[in-house]
C-alpha cells in the first residue's frame, strides 16, 4: 500500500465519523447520519465485536495500519485549519491531497511535513515544528529549484489555528507561483529562528490619554535551524487546471480594463486583467464574485494572498478567489461590485516629519501623530474601515527622500485599535509606519491605494 492509498483508506475512516467532518453542508450531514444509523442497526452485536477485534489486531501487528490510524488526528486538524478556505475544503473533500510524511531534526527542533495540497500554480504545505527545549519561534518558508538550488520567485503566506510564534501547532504555508507552473520536484526550505520571548507589538502612541503604552522590543534570536525537504508531487495533482481566454474590454468608474484570462485550479481561481495606458488610475483591488448556472457563488478569499502585481507598474493584475473547480458547472459569470484605485498622481505622498503634516493622503486616511526617537520615526495614521471590523494596509514598505532616494520602512503595522476612548469614532483603525536611520525632515510614502469606488450596479463579465 503506497502513501496515497493509505490516505484514501484514512478518508474512508473519517467518513464514518461525521461529527469530525467540520463545515459540511446540511445535506451532507444528513446523508452521513443516515448512513451511520443504517450501519448500526444492520450489524449484529457479535459481528461488530469481531470486526473490532480484527481492527485491534491489525493496528498492533501491521505498521501500515498503525501509521494510517496515527494520521487521522492530523487530517482532522487539517480539515479544521482550512475551514475558512472553501477551495481547500472542497479539494480535501474530493481527496485532492498528497501525503508527504517527512521529518528532520536540527538543533533540538523537529520539523515534520505531513501533507500537501498542490496543483499547477499553488502549493499548500501542512507541517509542524516541535521542540522539548524551545517554546517560541519564527519560521520563514521559501522554495528552491532542485537542480540549480536557486530560490524561486513565489509569494508565501503562513497561517495556523494557534500562535505562529508557538511550538506545536499545525501550520499551513500557502505558496503561490505567479508566473510559472508547479515543477515536478522542488526543495522546501524553512529557516526557524528561536526567540527568547513571545513577540509583543507595542502599538499605542504616547499622547493618547488613559492608554498604557507598550513599546515593541524585538526579541533576541537565541538559536537558528534550517530545514530542506525535497518534495515530489503526484502529476495527477500538478496537471490539474484550466485557462479560459476571455479578452473582454469594459469601462468601470471611468477607467478601461480588459479581463484577459481566468484560470481555474482546484485550490483557487485567478482573474487576470490588463489596463488601457490612458487610464488615470491603477487597479489595486476588487470586491467581486463569480456565479455559476446553479446560483453557487465563489468570492474572494478571506485569508491569504489576494492579488499579484505587475513588474512595471503598481497595478495588481491577477486577483485570487475561491474556485469552482469541483462544482461541475458549465457556465460562469464574474460580477465586480467594488474597485480600489491608486491614482497615478498619488503614487507618492509627502509627509513633513518636523511639523507633523501630510498632503494628499488616500481617502479616509488622516495623519494622527509623528514621533521621533533619534533618527527613527513612527507615523500613526487613522484609517476608516472599508468593511466592519476589518483592517487593511494603507502604505507599502518603500519610502523616499526629496531627491528620490529609496529607503525601506522597518515595519508597517495595521489593525491598531483604541477601544472605549472618547474622541475616537467607531469604524476607525490605526496604521503605524516605522522608519529607522532616517535623518531627513520630509519623507514620501508609497500608498497602496488612493480611493474606493462602490458600484451602483455590478459589472458582469461572462467567463464561460
Residue 106 lies in a domain: yes
Residues 11 and 111 in one domain: no
Residue 353 lies in a domain: no
351: left (phi over 0), alpha (psi -120 to 50) or beta: beta
Domain total of the chain: 4
Average pLDDT over residues 395-400: 93
Residues 51 and 107 in one domain: no
Whole-number pLDDT of residue 34 = 30
The enclosing H or E element of 5 equals helix 3-15
Average pLDDT over residues 371-397: 87
Residues 173 and 257 in one domain: no
Residues 157 and 225 in one domain: yes
Residue 352 lies in a domain: no
Average pLDDT over residues 2-10: 56
Whole-number pLDDT of residue 418 = 46
Residue 122 lies in a domain: yes
Residues 306 and 281 in one domain: yes
CA 111 – CA 334 distance, rounded (Å): 41
Residue 355 lies in a domain: no
CA 290 – CA 212 distance, rounded (Å): 46
Q: Which CATH number does the domain housing residue 145 bear?
A: 2.60.40.1640
Whole-number pLDDT of residue 19 = 43
Residues 290 and 393 in one domain: no
Residues 263 and 322 in one domain: yes
Listed residue (206, 293, 253, 294) closest to 456, CA to CA = 253
Domain's final residue, options 237, 255, 290: 237
Tell me if 346 sits within 8 A of 360, measured CB to CB.
yes
C-alpha grid cell for residue 332? 460562469
pLDDT band for 424, please (50, 70, 90 cuts). low
Domain's final residue, options 81, 114, 144: 81
Residues 429 and 399 in one domain: yes
pLDDT band for 51, please (50, 70, 90 cuts). very low
pLDDT band for 263, please (50, 70, 90 cuts). very high
Residue 372 lies in a domain: yes
> What letters, b where the CB count within 10 A reaches 16 and e where it falls short, cover 371-382?
beeeeebbbbbb
The enclosing H or E element of 430 equals strand 428-435
Which residue(s) pair with 453 in the sheet? 339
CA 313 – CA 377 distance, rounded (Å): 28
User: Is the model's pLDDT at 197 over the cut of 70?
Assistant: no
Residues 113 and 233 in one domain: yes
pLDDT digits (tens, 9 = 90+) for 276-318: 999 999 999 999 999 999 999 999 887 778 888 887 889 999 9
User: Is the model's pLDDT at 213 over the cut of 70?
Assistant: no
User: Is the model's pLDDT at 167 over the cut of 90?
Assistant: no
241: left (phi over 0), alpha (psi -120 to 50) or beta: left
pLDDT digits (tens, 9 = 90+) for 376-386: 899 999 998 88
C-alpha grid cell for residue 430? 490605526
User: Is the model's pLDDT at 203 over the cut of 70?
Assistant: no
Q: Which CATH number does the domain housing residue 436 bear?
A: 2.60.40
pLDDT band for 137, please (50, 70, 90 cuts). confident
Residues 370 and 228 in one domain: no
Listed residue (400, 394, 315) closest to 362, CA to CA = 394
pLDDT band for 12, please (50, 70, 90 cuts). low
pLDDT band for 387, please (50, 70, 90 cuts). confident
Residue 377 lies in a domain: yes
CA 250 – CA 247 distance, rounded (Å): 10
Whole-number pLDDT of residue 89 = 92
CA 241 – CA 73 distance, rounded (Å): 30
What domain range includes position 262? 241-344+452-462
User: Is the model's pLDDT at 254 over the cut of 70?
Assistant: yes
Residues 436 and 330 in one domain: no
Tell me if 322 sits within 8 A of 430, measured CB to CB.
no
Whole-number pLDDT of residue 67 = 46
Higher pLDDT, 7 or 180: 180
Whole-number pLDDT of residue 242 = 92
- With H, G, I as helix, E, B as strand and everything else as coil, classify residue 375: coil
Give the range among 40-44, 190-194, 332-336 with minimum mean pLDDT: 40-44
pLDDT digits (tens, 9 = 90+) for 430-448: 899 999 999 999 999 999 9
The mean pLDDT of the chain is 81
pLDDT digits (tens, 9 = 90+) for 76-112: 888 888 888 899 999 999 999 999 999 999 999 999 9
Residue 350 lies in a domain: no
pTM score of the predicted model:
0.76
Residues 263 and 315 in one domain: yes
Amino acid at each position: 500500500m503506497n502513501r496515497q492509498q493509505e490516505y484514501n483508506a484514512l478518508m474512508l475512516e473519517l467518513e464514518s465519523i461525521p461529527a469530525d467532518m467540520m463545515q459540511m453542508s446540511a445535506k451532507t450531514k444528513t446523508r452521513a447520519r443516515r448512513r451511520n444509523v443504517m450501519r448500526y442497526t444492520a450489524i449484529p452485536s457479535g459481528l461488530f465485536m469481531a470486526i473490532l477485534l480484527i481492527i485491534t489486531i491489525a493496528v498492533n501487528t501491521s505498521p501500515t495500519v498503525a501509521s494510517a490510524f496515527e494520521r487521522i488526528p492530523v487530517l482532522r486538524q487539517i480539515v479544521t485549519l482550512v475551514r475558512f478556505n472553501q477551495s481547500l475544503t472542497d479539494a480535501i473533500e474530493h481527496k485532492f491531497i498528497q501525503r508527504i510524511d517527512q521529518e528532520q531534526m536540527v538543533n533540538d527542533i523537529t520539523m515534520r511535513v505531513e501533507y500537501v495540497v498542490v496543483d499547477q500554480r499553488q502549493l499548500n504545505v501542512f507541517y509542524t515544528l516541535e521542540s522539548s527545549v524551545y517554546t517560541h519561534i519564527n519560521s520563514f518558508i521559501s522554495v528552491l529549484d532542485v537542480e540549480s538550488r536557486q530560490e524561486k520567485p513565489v509569494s508565501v503566506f503562513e497561517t495556523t489555528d494557534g500562535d505562529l510564534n508557538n511550538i506545536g501547532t499545525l501550520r499551513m504555508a500557502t505558496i503561490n507561483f505567479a508566473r510559472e507552473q508547479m515543477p515536478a520536484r522542488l526543495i522546501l526550505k524553512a529557516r526557524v529562528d528561536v526567540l527568547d520571548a513571545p513577540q509583543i507589538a507595542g502599538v499605542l502612541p504616547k499622547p493618547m490619554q488613559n492608554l498604557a503604552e507598550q513599546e515593541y522590543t524585538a526579541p533576541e534570536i537565541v538559536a537558528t535551524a534550517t530545514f530542506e525537504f525535497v518534495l515530489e508531487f503526484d502529476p495527477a495533482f500538478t496537471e490539474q487546471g484550466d485557462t479560459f481566454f476571455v479578452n473582454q474590454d469594459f469601462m468601470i468608474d471611468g477607467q478601461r480594463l480588459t479581463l484577459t484570462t481566468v484560470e481555474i485550479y482546484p485550490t483557487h481561481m485567478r482573474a487576470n486583467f490588463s489596463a488601457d495606458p490612458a487610464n488615470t488610475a491603477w487597479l489595486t483591488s476588487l470586491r467581486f464574485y463569480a456565479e455559476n448556472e446553479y446560483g453557487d457563488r465563489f468570492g474572494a478569499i478571506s485569508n491569504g494572498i489576494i492579488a499579484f502585481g505587475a513588474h512595471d507598474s503598481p497595478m495588481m493584475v491577477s486577483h485570487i478567489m475561491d474556485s469552482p473547480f469541483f462544482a461541475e458547472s458549465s457556465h460562469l459569470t464574474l460580477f465586480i461590485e467594488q474597485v480600489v484605485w491608486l491614482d497615478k498622481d498619488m503614487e507618492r505622498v509627502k509627509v513633513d516629519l518636523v511639523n507633523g503634516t501630510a498632503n494628499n493622503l488616500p481617502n479616509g486616511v488622516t495623519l494622527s501623530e509623528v514621533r521621533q526617537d533619534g533618527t527613527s520615526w513612527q507615523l500613526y495614521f487613522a484609517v476608516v474601515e472599508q468593511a466592519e471590523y476589518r483592517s487593511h494596509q494603507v502604505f507599502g514598505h518603500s519610502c523616499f527622500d526629496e531627491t528620490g532616494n529609496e529607503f525601506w520602512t522597518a515595519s508597517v503595522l495595521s489593525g491598531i485599535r483604541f477601544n472605549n476612548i472618547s474622541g475616537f469614532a467607531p469604524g476607525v483603525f490605526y496604521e503605524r509606519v516605522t522608519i529607522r536611520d532616517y535623518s531627513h525632515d520630509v519623507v514620501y510614502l508609497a500608498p497602496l491605494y488612493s480611493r474606493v469606488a462602490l458600484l451602483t450596479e455590478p459589472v458582469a463579465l461572462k467567463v464561460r
